[in-house]
Amino acid sequence: MSLHIVACIKQVPDSSQIRVHPVTNTIMRQGVPAVVNPFDLVSLEEALRLKDRFGAHVTVLSMGPKMAAEALKKCISYGADDAILITDRVFAGSDTLATSYALSSAIRTIAASRPVDMVFCGKQTIDGDTAQVGPGIARRLGLQQLTYVSRIESVDPVAREIVVHRRAEGGVQVLQSRLPCLVTMMEGANTIRFAGMDDMFRAARCEVQEWDHKAAGITELARCGLKGSPTVVKKVFAPQPRANKAEIIDTAGRSARESVQALLERLGSRHPGLEAEALP
C-alpha cells in the first residue's frame, strides 16, 4: 500500500527584506517578495525522499491568500503530486491556534477520500517563529508527534512503524513510533532538490485546488480568523542599532592566559558588579 503524505507549507515574506514601519511599528509587506518558508522546504524534501523510496503520494497543503498558490506550484515543481490551498476571508488574522484548527480540518477532509499516513511540517516559520502549528495539528488529529527531527532512520509502511532521530537538550533521542504520525523537521536535515524540467512543466500546468471553509470541512467559524485567535500582537519593532563600536584588544606577544586575564580586567573595569553577579 502506497503512503499518503501531506506536507504543510506556508508562503512567507522574505525575511532578509522585511522592514518595520517607523510610526505604526508594523511589518511592511508591500514590495517584499514572498518565498516558501525555508523550514517547510526541509520537510517537503523529506516527504519527496519517501516518495522516491516507496512511491508515496505527496499532497502539499497551505492556508493563505490566493497568491499563496504560487508557493504551492513551486512545491509541485520539486515533485509533489497535488496542491490544495484553503483560502477564505474567515481565515484572516488567524494565530497559531486558529491556523492549526483550519489545517487539521482540511487534513481530515483530505483523509476522508484517501487516508493520510504522515503529515510533515517545518520546525517553525520565519515570520512567526512559534513552532506551534505542527504540534497543534497533531493534537487535533490525534497523531503521534515527532518534533525537531534531524533524521528519519527508517519507515516501514507494512509494519506501520517509523524510527527517527530527534534533537533534544543534551543529545539526540532515537524514537520508534507508529503511523500515522506528524513530523516536524530541523534545519540542516537535508537540502531541497533542484526542480526537474518535467515537474516544472507540470507545475506550470497545475491547477491548485482552492478550498473555502466549507470545502475544508470547517463548521465552527468562531474558531477561525480573529474570532478564534486569543493571541494579540501588540507591537512589532526592530532592535535599535548599537552606538558603541567593537573594541580591539591587542594580545600580540601574550599567552592565552594573559590575553584572557586582560579581557577580564577590562570587563571588570567597565562593569564593576559583573564579578559579584557571576560568582555563586
| Cα–Cα distance for residue pair 10/121, rounded to 1 Å | 10
Residue 1 has pLDDT above 60, yes or no: no
What would the grid cell of residue 272 be? 564593576
Burial of 61 (0-12, 13-18, 19+ CB in 10 A): buried
The pTM is what? 0.81
What is the per-residue pLDDT across 105-138, written as a single tens digit (0 to 9) for each? 999 999 999 999 999 999 999 887 889 999 999 9
Query: Measured in whole angstroms, how far is the alpha carbon of residue 246 from the centre of its chain?
Result: 35
| Cα–Cα distance for residue pair 202/195, rounded to 1 Å | 11
| Domains of the chain, start order | 4-223 (3.40.50.620), 244-280 (no CATH)
**DSSP characters for 241-257?**
PP-SPP-PPP-TT--HH
| Cα–Cα distance for residue pair 203/191, rounded to 1 Å | 20
Which has more pLDDT, 29 or 43? Answer: 43
Which has more pLDDT, 271 or 131? Answer: 131
| Cα–Cα distance for residue pair 5/52, rounded to 1 Å | 12
pLDDT at 252: 82
Contact 41, 192 (CB under 8 A): yes
Contact 45, 81 (CB under 8 A): no
Q: Where are the alpha helices (DSSP H) in 114-245?
A: 133-141, 197-205
Mean of pLDDT over the chain: 89
Contact 181, 144 (CB under 8 A): yes
Query: Measured in whole angstroms, how far is the alpha carbon of residue 215 from the centre of its chain?
Result: 25
Q: If you average pLDDT over residues 27-36, what whole number do you get?
A: 77
Half-sphere exposure of 74 (CA within 13 A, CB side): 20
What is the per-residue pLDDT across 165-189, written as a single tens digit (0 to 9) for each? 999 888 999 999 999 999 999 999 9
pLDDT at 280: 62
What would the grid cell of residue 207 be? 491547477
